[in-house]
Structure 1
């Protein structure tokens, strides 16, 4: 059996093993998928090959659980099934050696459906044996899924896989307090045995919170933390030296790795002098910076790096509009392979998830705005890529809508980037849904978004905007949103809506605005400030009352929370009332749909209930959905189906052609 035949058989075996074969009848390009098709979880999350190439580990979601299956490549027999109890999920994993896998886990707790990472690190042999918690709140338990026992209460985060010590990893320890919340104290470093969980204590961080970076010998050399609520970075010239704080211009630093001499560190950096995250090499002695790549408008993002077999950075994607690749080592075999894959999968982003130790084989993930992701087995010697499986095989890329980057000018002259998703073969102007993102310190990318594709499949154009206050466009753009949550940010969103109308993209009589978290806040504020621009508004897990947010949100538990809220929201009580939707519902002229989770800690449901009360008092038409055990957003698949079904019905009711 050749590799191609083995891969085809492997794909069938995986699907049969978990009864996940879904037969699709032939359908036209205009097929109307069900709501569940778009909101159900991906079958496969990630796939990585073992160092020798003997096994492939795949994570897969079954109901609320994310588990792992391991296949032997020679005969495609399933040799391992690794999972915790039905409430546990594998978030990320790596092969520590050819026998053992290490996993970072999250857990669905008794009182809430949304999974929460508690810093648990698990390890298991590829066949599922010797599975145990090696760090975290369950580390006193004997095996994965065991009942919690007393032990050291701390969350763990993996710092270094220690390539030269295949039986150990370095872990940062973050003490927990009541409610399993991370305390903002100085974390410590431990060397942890991945078989037994035994640990040896290492250095302590020089400041609160944050994360460590090691050199090529596994020595701690950098720490990014917080002082007085602001990002701060410290370094050690050698492993014996004391910590020194980097100058202010070096504080917003995201380090990747040291060079082969442990003399310079590759890192993303932005500051008052360098507005956008650019890629630099910093000499650890002189602190001299050498520019590698500095974008003009957007920040480089750490998840977009291209690394070789040794973990060295050899390229990165720049996400301005769509994407483009930059390579830094033309002699690198990884660069040659990546270029080859980029040509073969033109128009799709390429991520190499893992290599074998000899570099002869890799697992590759490709995807774009119409494709949620396909995995391939790549033979670097024959230069052949064989299809393995898709994250969501039931969603056919040819049926999905195209996402196009846009730029428009806000009313004060600032350029705002965004994206338009248009239904296939739709007439223009079309009904439109505006989806402001959450955060606000986040951004939308040119990518596959299930909810935008759902709405496009129902005939709606979708507008996404990276308003001021969004991250990803430099510090000036980010900070321009401070204390402007209820004013200038909302004007940017409304300006985008007017732009779409002026361009003939949107039907001005059939527009709804919908968002989650800060996006829900923006949806409500937009229909308050611009009541004649929209026909309806929808918010899920929204922020509707500044006072409740400052007092009851989980962000209020952190040190320097008051300083953070003052910086981004302001401390003017009258302005807080003016910018809080619960006090402004009398200005709303359109129907509203509010959905919230009863266990939401980020935007507590009390403020959604206050909003409901205010809507009733002002006789505003509204619909309400509450899922008692959900957190910040809906996680349980049936709850997601319920919400998105109601969302589509609500939007269709209030933007139908009959209402024009």
Structure 2
């Protein structure tokens, strides 16, 4: 696999992009709808092979295993994507891979998420299920059967799995427990007996469970939101309660080297990183904070997989290594890959001599390198999307947008050189979540729009995550009026700056972003087109979708109640939307029910509005199907051409 030298590629990109005309709808739709050619790679303990996932036709995904020396590549496993999705596979030893499937499935009249864990022989493709076996005496559906909590890198052929047990009348055990699995023989040894309730366990990376959390459940079987946290001192079997760090306490990992628990909790309104000694002293130490944004998490490095730094996201993700060796490596990689600034370690062999390095940028979907730290040689082994011509991609930059109340919000603007200068047709693309955020980097949906000649603007409205408690507020559902105000002010600013043609603006979004697109169009008739993918259209229906789940009470609290929810639901304001609407939804969506889009289309039709609903049978919230995405992007391109032009 060859790749142009980066310095030369940057110059070529600028020349090509400036002279290129927008891609046709068919060209752009096919190009950007094609799913990734490589993701979630892992390196075998001996460093000889790489396992990775790759998209097949439609919604199919394949598990590949590549020989590093010969570059021979074998497909061992596949998932249909309807409903099961292969999410990741990792080497447990040089023979066995552990793979995680999930998907949305119909159950008891609802669409619910589920997951399964299997072992795969990396040489023969033989598959072994790792969840507790189904029993004829159990009528309980196991939603999530298990997950790996410790890969036991210091041992060979064993891992720790947290498994969920059904309520079996023949032995009385139910709930979540921890088992040690011997690979090959597939013998399970009980480490922690199953216990009723939602359990969370964390080890020191060497097989010793040191930390646990138990979610409190009320008399009706619902989660209350309260957690009981406890830890074990080294060598002890007596659990000690953790001090009360407040509701926003977020445990991350146990570090064996420092005998500490790393966790996040608020400091001056933003999540800061702390360490807590697990020696009984109850000593907490501030490790890192940022005055602008939350700390995201910790970084690990080295053969012992020790905590070696932390990450945060301002305009883009930043990795801060406190370990000298990790810091030196990061600095060296930055110099070697100046045009791919988002760099992280995606995998390593047991000795930490060979590393998988992933590097990406706004105008590059990403590339995986295999770095040999002994020879200092680094080769390309896998591209995240080998089908995309980098010269067709548009740069993204962050802007600060002033709001009418004197505050400002961050936003991202993506604009191809082929779009020309002066006021242009603009697509406002609010993110989903709702407690999520956009950040700098490659995005296939944004790049599709930019390749068609549109200026794309992604506002991180108030209610977005990562900027601290004040910016997050009550959340973007309860504070929907503020979200709409921020989007309106962003549109006003774009017009005032001469970026947007006020007569050629469209709204588009996915999930909560689809909600924001519809509600914005109901409150502001400047938008000439609306695209809503898997949107929330009724908060009442969203509340109803939570019924029966253990987290029902918590979800209802997050959504809120009262007249403001009815007022804030686009389905109740269909008559206020004057622009044509394109709705896109999968029927197997456990996140936002398909009925939300059907109800919105019916409401729009009752008011005489143009509303098309593209339905994808058997697909979930992500619509992870290249054919479906091609159809969707084609319809989006045609609609935007008719309404705002390119």
TM-score range, shorter chain: 0.7 to 0.9
Contact 1:155–1:176, Cα closer than 8 Å, also in 2: no
Q: Deviations over 1:55-98 (max 9, x none)?
A: 222322222332223233344444x5421564554311222222
Q: In the TM superposition, what is the alpha-carbon distance from 1:216 to its structure 2 partner? A: 4.2
* Whole-angstrom CA distance in 1 between matches of 2:492 and 2:43: 49
For structure 1, which segment, 237-246 or 37-46, has the greater mean C-alpha deviation from structure 2 after superposition? 237-246
Contact 1:119–1:136, Cα closer than 8 Å, also in 2: no
Q: Pick from 601, 626, 632: which aligns with 1:643?
A: 632
Tell me the residue number matched to 2:570: 581
Tell me the residue number matched to 2:250: 253
* Whole-angstrom CA distance in 1 between matches of 2:140 and 2:568: 46
Tell me the residue number matched to 1:99: 95
Q: Which runs of 5+ in 2 are unaligned?
A: 4-15, 168-173, 217-222
Tell me the residue number matched to 2:149: 159
Question: Are residue 454 (structure 1) and residue 448 (structure 2) matched?
Answer: yes
Question: Are residue 494 (structure 1) and residue 485 (structure 2) matched?
Answer: no
* Whole-angstrom CA distance in 1 between matches of 2:437 and 2:142: 37
Tell me the residue number matched to 2:207: 218
Contact 1:597–1:629, Cα closer than 8 Å, also in 2: yes
Contact 2:178–2:190, Cα closer than 8 Å, also in 1: yes
Contact 2:141–2:166, Cα closer than 8 Å, also in 1: no
* Whole-angstrom CA distance in 2 between matches of 1:131 and 1:348: 38
Question: Are residue 187 (structure 1) and residue 169 (structure 2) matched?
Answer: no
Tell me the residue number matched to 1:169: 159
Match of 1:159, SS? strand
Q: Pick from 347, 350, 362: which aligns with 1:354?
A: 347
Superposition pairs for residues 394-409 of structure 1, below 5 Å? 394-409=387-402
Tell me the residue number matched to 1:196: 185
Q: In the TM superposition, what is the alpha-carbon distance from 1:164 to its structure 2 partner? A: 2.8
Q: In the TM superposition, what is the alpha-carbon distance from 1:151 to its structure 2 partner? A: 11
Q: In the TM superposition, what is the alpha-carbon distance from 1:108 to its structure 2 partner? A: 7.7
Question: Are residue 466 (structure 1) and residue 460 (structure 2) matched?
Answer: yes
Question: Are residue 603 (structure 1) and residue 592 (structure 2) matched?
Answer: yes
Match of 2:374, SS? coil
Match of 2:130, SS? strand
* Whole-angstrom CA distance in 2 between matches of 1:497 and 1:208: 47
Query: CA 1:116–1:51 in structure 2 vs 1: closer, same or farther (change >3 Å)?
Result: farther
CA RMSD of aligned residues (A): 3.1
Query: CA 1:363–1:579 in structure 2 vs 1: closer, same or farther (change >3 Å)?
Result: same
Q: In the TM superposition, what is the alpha-carbon distance from 1:51 to its structure 2 partner? A: 1.8
* Whole-angstrom CA distance in 1 between matches of 2:230 and 2:567: 44
Q: Pick from 556, 562, 581: which aligns with 1:565?
A: 556
Contact 2:104–2:620, Cα closer than 8 Å, also in 1: no
Question: Are residue 288 (structure 1) and residue 279 (structure 2) matched?
Answer: no
Tell me the residue number matched to 2:336: 344
Question: Are residue 376 (structure 1) and residue 369 (structure 2) matched?
Answer: yes
Contact 1:433–1:460, Cα closer than 8 Å, also in 2: yes
**What TM-score comes out, normalization by structure 2 length?**
0.86
Match of 1:638, SS? helix
Contact 1:54–1:73, Cα closer than 8 Å, also in 2: yes
Superposition pairs for residues 239-638 of structure 1, below 5 Å? 239-242=236-239, 244-249=241-246, 251-260=248-257, 262=259, 264-267=260-263, 269-271=264-266, 273-284=267-278, 285-302=280-297, 305-330=299-324, 332=325, 334-346=326-338, 347-425=340-418, 426-481=420-475, 484-531=478-525, 533-551=526-544, 553=545, 555-566=546-557, 568-572=558-562, 574-638=563-627
* Whole-angstrom CA distance in 2 between matches of 1:450 and 1:85: 22
User: Bigger relative contact order, structure 1 or 2, given CA contacts below 8 A and separation 6+?
Assistant: 2
Contact 1:337–1:380, Cα closer than 8 Å, also in 2: no
Contact 1:516–1:633, Cα closer than 8 Å, also in 2: no
Q: In the TM superposition, what is the alpha-carbon distance from 1:482 to its structure 2 partner? A: 5.6
* Whole-angstrom CA distance in 2 between matches of 1:483 and 1:74: 52
Match of 1:645, SS? helix
* Whole-angstrom CA distance in 1 between matches of 2:76 and 2:381: 20
Query: CA 1:370–1:224 in structure 2 vs 1: closer, same or farther (change >3 Å)?
Result: farther
**What TM-score comes out, normalization by structure 1 length?**
0.84
Q: Deviations over 1:172-196 (max 9, x none)?
A: 223579xxxxxxx953222222323
Contact 1:29–1:398, Cα closer than 8 Å, also in 2: no
Q: In the TM superposition, what is the alpha-carbon distance from 1:449 to its structure 2 partner? A: 0.6
Match of 1:324, SS? strand
Q: Which runs of 5+ in 1 are unaligned?
A: 1-6, 10-25, 141-148, 178-184
Tell me the residue number matched to 1:20: none
* Whole-angstrom CA distance in 2 between matches of 1:261 and 1:109: 43
Match of 2:368, SS? strand
Q: In the TM superposition, what is the alpha-carbon distance from 1:599 to its structure 2 partner? A: 2.8
How many correspondences in the alignment? 605
Query: CA 1:153–1:454 in structure 2 vs 1: closer, same or farther (change >3 Å)?
Result: closer
Contact 2:435–2:464, Cα closer than 8 Å, also in 1: yes
Tell me the residue number matched to 1:19: none
* Whole-angstrom CA distance in 2 between matches of 1:151 and 1:417: 44
Superposition pairs for residues 125-136 of structure 1, below 5 Å? 125-128=121-124, 130-135=126-131
* Whole-angstrom CA distance in 1 between matches of 2:194 and 2:493: 49
Q: In the TM superposition, what is the alpha-carbon distance from 1:117 to its structure 2 partner? A: 6.5
For structure 1, which segment, 251-260 or 640-649, has the greater mean C-alpha deviation from structure 2 after superposition? 251-260
Q: Deviations over 1:386-421 (max 9, x none)?
A: 122312122122321111012223222333112111
Match of 1:359, SS? coil
* Whole-angstrom CA distance in 2 between matches of 1:374 and 1:61: 16
